[in-house]
Structure 1
Amino acid sequence: MLSPKTVRNVKRVIPFGVLWFIFSLIYCVLEKGLLGQLERYPTTGVAYNFYRNLIAIPLAGLVVGLFTGVLEIGYFSKWFIKMSFGKKIILKSIIYLVIVVLFLICLTMLNASYTYGYTSFKTILSPAFAFFADYAVICIIQYVAAIIVITQFYAEFSQSIGVGTLSNFFLGKYHHPLEEQRIFMFLDMKSSTTIAENLGHVKYFEMLREYFFDLSEAVIDYAGTIYQYAGDEMIICWKLKEGLRNNNSINCFFAMKRALISRSEKYNQQFGVLPGFKAGLHYGMVTAGEIGSLKKEIVFTGDVLNTSARIQGLCNQHNAELLVSADMVKVLQLPAKYIIRSVGENMLKGRGKAMELFSITTDSLY
C-alpha cells in the first residue's frame, strides 16, 4: 500500500501531465490550421502527418508534463521554497524552458531520422539547426513558455491555498453544501505570549514560520489537511476513515513532537527556545461548502469544531499535551505503546452535557 505522502505527491504530479497533454492537443490543432494541406514542414522539409502528430505530440506532452511535475514536487518546490512568489515563477520557468527546448531538439532529430533514415549524425542534426534558426520557432517557444508559466502558477496557487482545495474549486465539489464526518485537531503553541514578548514580534514571526513549516511534514505523512492557521494555532482535519486508518490522527501528533525535538538545536541557536504545543481532538458531522464573494473559501461548520477547540483549551487544566473526546476514544484502536487515561467528566462551553475526556501519552516517541 502506498503511503499517504506518496499518494499526495502522485495527485500533485498528475495535473502537470494533464495540462501539458491538453495544451499539446491544442498545439496540434493550431499547427494543422497553419499548415493546411502541406505534406512537409516548410523550414526543415521533414514530413508532416497530422494524425501521427495528433498521437505523438500529446503523448510527448504528457511525458514532459509528468517529468516536470516530478521535478517540481520532488525537488524544485523544496529548493525554492523560501523564495518569493515572483522569483520562484521566473527561475523555475527558465529552467523548465531550457529542459523543454532540449527535448524539442531531440524530438526534431528523431523526426528527421524517421523521415530520412539514419545515414549520419549530420543528416538528422541539420533539420534541428534549420528549425531552431527559423523565426517560426520563436512562436513555438513562446507557446511552450506560456504553458510553463501556467503550470507554475497552478503549482504555486495549489500550494498556497492547499493541495486539493484548488481542484475542489474547479470541480465544484463544495459548490453546494455537503455533510461529512471529519476529525479535527486544534493544535496550539504553549506559552506563545511569553515567547512573543521575549523574542519581539519580528523574531517571533520568523520562529512561527519555521515552527509551522516543521510541523507540516508530519501532516503530509499522516494524510492530514491543514484547514486553517489562526495566530499560533494550527487546525488540522481528516475525513473520518483517513484519520482512523493506521491511527493517522494520533500518530500525526506524536510525529510533530518528534519533528520539533529533532530540530531542537536549530530552535535553541536561532531563537533561544524550543516551542511546544498541546492539542484537542474530536470527530463528528460537519457541513462543508464554498463561502464568500470577494474572497472564496471552503469552510466547515458544525459542533465538532467548537468542541475540539474547547477540548484543547482544557489541556493546561489537566496538565495534558493531547486530550481527546470519549467519542474519539471509542473509534480508535491504539497499540499498547499509547497510554490512555481518563481525566473525568468536563463541562464544555456551549454544551449542555458533560463530556468525558482522555489524555493520550506514549513513553516511546521514536
Structure 2
Amino acid sequence: MKNLLVQFFRLLVATIVFWSIAFCVFIMIRYFQIGVEGGKAFEVGKDIPGLDSDVIPITQWLEFGVFSGIVVGCIYAVVEFLFEKLRLNKLSTGLVLVEKSLIYLLMLILSTNFIITLIEEQIDRNLPNEQGWWIQNKVFWLVVGYFVICSLIFSFLKIAKDNFGRGVFFNQLIGKYKKPREERRIFMFLDLQASTTIAEQLGHFKYSELIQQCFYDLNYVLPNYNAEIYQYVGDEAVISWPFDKGIKDNNCAELFFKFQDRLLKKEKNYIKKFGILPKFKAGLHGGKLIVTEVGTIKKEIAYHGDVINTAARIQGECNAYNETLLISETLLGKLKLHKYKLESIGNIALKGKESEVKLFSINRNS
C-alpha cells in the first residue's frame, strides 16, 4: 500500500505541475493575444457574450489557471494510475488512446462547468454554464484542442521516461553524457535461476509470459529503492543506483529481498498460470566507471568499466556456491546489513580479472 501511495503521489505532483503550467501558458497567450497584430490585453466581453469589456487582472486569471491545473491534474493522475495498475495498458495502444480520450473529454466538460461556477463567484459575473453550453462555445473547443496537444506532449514525456528510465531522458536532452563522464554507481545483475530448464518445460511463448510477469513485479518494487533499470537482457535485468542512493538504507540489498517477497506473495498466481514459482539470483558490486551516450540511429546511455563487468561475473558465481545473492567485499563495507546473515565465500578468481575478488553471501536470518 505504501508503495502504491508513493507512486501515485509522484504521478499526482507531476500532473498538477504540468497542467498548471500548461493552463497558465494558455491564459498568457489569450490575455495578451499573442500572435494577433498589435497584441492587446484580453477583453472578457469579446470572449464571453453578455459581458462588458472590463479587463480582469492577469494575476487573477493565473490563479484560475493554477486552480484548473490542480483539478485537471488530479483527474489525469487518477486515470493514468488506474490504467497502469489495472494493466489496461496491455490493451492495444490505439484502443487505450481512444478510451482515455473519451474519459478526458467527459472529465474536461464536467470540470470546466465546475471551474466556471467558481469563477462566477470570484468575479461576480454571469458566465455561460447552462446545459449544453459547451457544444457551440468556440473558447471551449479551443481549450479542448489545446488540451489534446498538451496531453500528447505529456504522453510523449511519460513514454520517453518509461523507455529510457527515470532521469535518463532528461540527461539526454541536456546532453549531459555527450562526452564521457566518470561516476560512482552500484550495479545488480538479476537473473532467473534454472532458466534453460524452465524454458524447455514451458515453451518459448509461456516462458516469455513468465519473464514479462516477473519484470512487472520487479518494476512494482523498484521505485521505493531509488533503483533504475539499465537494461533487460533476455531473462536478466541489470539494475543501477547512483552510489549514495544505493547504499542509503541498504537500498541495493533490500531491493532483492523485497522482490523475493513480492514473488512469494503472488506464489498462487504463478503456480496456477506457469506451474512454478520463479526464483532469482543476483550479484552486487559498485565503484567508479565511465558513462557516455552512444549510437546515432538508436541512442542510449552506456556504462563502461570494470564495475559493471565485475558485477556480472559475481552473479555468475551464484550457482557455483548455491547462493542467491553475492556481493563484493568493497561494496559490503559501505552497507550496514546487521539484520542479515553474512558469510564469506572467499577470494574468488573471476573470469577475465587478474586479481581475485573477495565475495560474501547475503541471506536472511532464519
Give the alignment's TM-score, normalised by structure 2: 0.87
2:278 aligns with 275
Q: Where does structure 1 lack aligned partners over 5 or more consecutive residues?
A: 118-122
2:97 aligns with 89
Q: Where does structure 2 lack aligned partners over 5 or more consecutive residues?
A: none
- Residues 155-203 of structure 1 show CA distances to partners (whole Å, capped at 9, x for unaligned) of 2332233222222223333333322111111011111111111111111
Once structures 1 and 2 are overlaid, which stretch shifts more, 211-220 or 317-326?
A: 211-220
2:45 aligns with 40
Q: 2:347 aligns with which of 345, 348, 360?
A: 345
Superposed displacement of residue 85, structure 1: 3.0
Superposed displacement of residue 145, structure 1: 2.0
Contact in 2 for aligned 1:183/1:281 (Cα 8 Å): yes
Distance 1:259 1:356 in 2: 30
Contact in 1 for aligned 2:291/2:304 (Cα 8 Å): yes
1:27 aligns with 26
- Residues 260-312 of structure 1 show CA distances to partners (whole Å, capped at 9, x for unaligned) of 11111111111111111111111111212222111111121111110000111
Cα distance change, pair 338–113 in 1 and its aligned pair in 2 (3 A): closer
Using the aligned pairs only, state the percent identity.
Answer: 33
Partner secondary structure for residue 40 of structure 1? helix
Distance 1:44 1:170 in 2: 44
Partner secondary structure for residue 276 of structure 2? coil
Distance 1:61 1:124 in 2: 16
* AA in 2 matched with 1:93: S
Cα distance change, pair 98–130 in 1 and its aligned pair in 2 (3 A): closer
Contact in 2 for aligned 1:89/1:152 (Cα 8 Å): no
Distance 2:7 2:348 in 1: 38
Cα distance change, pair 127–70 in 1 and its aligned pair in 2 (3 A): same
Contact in 2 for aligned 1:110/1:124 (Cα 8 Å): no
Once structures 1 and 2 are overlaid, which stretch shifts more, 94-103 or 258-267?
A: 94-103
- Residues 23-68 of structure 1 show CA distances to partners (whole Å, capped at 9, x for unaligned) of 3233224323269463514443345526245422431343145424
Distance 2:151 2:77 in 1: 14
Contact in 1 for aligned 2:48/2:128 (Cα 8 Å): no
Once structures 1 and 2 are overlaid, which stretch shifts more, 63-72 or 308-317?
A: 63-72
1:334 aligns with 337
Contact in 1 for aligned 2:109/2:134 (Cα 8 Å): no
Partner secondary structure for residue 94 of structure 1? helix
Superposed displacement of residue 124, structure 1: 5.6
Distance 2:133 2:278 in 1: 61
Aligned length: 356
Distance 2:160 2:232 in 1: 17
Distance 1:220 1:313 in 2: 26
Distance 1:22 1:353 in 2: 55
Q: 2:196 aligns with which of 190, 193, 197?
A: 193
Distance 2:128 2:65 in 1: 23
